[in-house]
Amino acid sequence: MSSTTAARSTEVTVELRVNGRTYPARLDSTTTLLDALRDELHLTGTKKGCDQGACGACTVLRDGKRIVSCLTLAAQCDGSEITTIEGLADDGVPHPVQEAFVRHDALQCGYCTAGQVMSAVALLREGRAHTDDEIREFMSGNLCRCAAYPNIVAAIREVADS
């Protein structure tokens, strides 16, 4: 067996760059990005739903691409640029997707909304919002137990068309 066995560390030192700020942290090695955001950085806008990659509530952007933060270790994101729902507003002005969600009443309980909004922002950047069917297909990784889907699609459609 290797000589490293005796001195194994199960902690990691990381530098998390979230919404333009840098947060150094010492974490258990298996801390997910989701838990680091919520419990260490106190950025609780990102929600924990299934915690298993099935619901999309914890969607954030890593280097501009949408991912689920529950199936990512914070250690894997060391040095990556993370954007959460708290980082979308521009100097206090909500992002157009956030405005559209409000206008179209695209939520009921609101628990999935941060994930829906982050996913929608990425979807628009990917250029995948040409039709309602396309929006539904490429938003399918975000579940809404209140079934606000028609209004979510309408909100995204409005931003895509504007």
Partner 1 sequence: MTRTGIEYLRAKDQDSAVALVAEDPDAAFLAGGTTELDLALKDRVVHPSRFVDIGRLPLRGVTRDGDRLRVAALTTMEELAADPTVRARLPLVREALLLGASTQLRNMATIGGNLLQRTRCRYFRDPDVAACNKREPGSGCAAIEGVARMHAILGAGPSCIALHASDLCVPLVALDAVVELLDADGPRRVPLTDFYLTPGDRPDVETVLRHGELLTHVEIPLLPAGTRSAYIKVRDRTSYEFGLTTAGAAVQVDDGTITMARVGLGGVGTVPWRSWEAERVLVGSPANERTFAAAAQAAIRDPFTVPGTEFKVELAKRTIVRILRTVTS
Q: Which residues here bind partner 1, judged by CB under 8 A?
A: 1-2, 5, 8-10, 12, 27-32, 35, 39, 51-53, 56, 59, 62, 65-68, 71-73, 75-76, 119, 122-123, 126, 128, 136-138, 140-142
User: Is 17 or 136 the residue whose CB approaches partner 1 more closely?
Assistant: 136
User: Is 103 or 145 the residue whose CB approaches partner 1 more closely?
Assistant: 145
Q: Annotate the chain with DSSP letters as a single string.
A: --TTSTT---EEEEEEEETTEEEEEEEETT-BHHHIIIIIS--TTS--SSSSSSS-TTEEEETTEEEEGGGSBGGGGTT-EEE-GGG-SBTTBPPHHHHHHHHTT--SS-TTHHHHHHHHHHHHHHT--SSHHHHHHHTTTS--TT--HHHHHHHHHHHHH-
Q: How far is the CB of 29 from partner 1 (least distance, A)?
A: 4
User: Is 91 or 134 the residue whose CB approaches partner 1 more closely?
Assistant: 134
Q: How far is the CB of 48 from partner 1 (least distance, A)?
A: 12
User: Is 29 or 131 the residue whose CB approaches partner 1 more closely?
Assistant: 29
Q: How far is the CB of 88 from partner 1 (least distance, A)?
A: 17
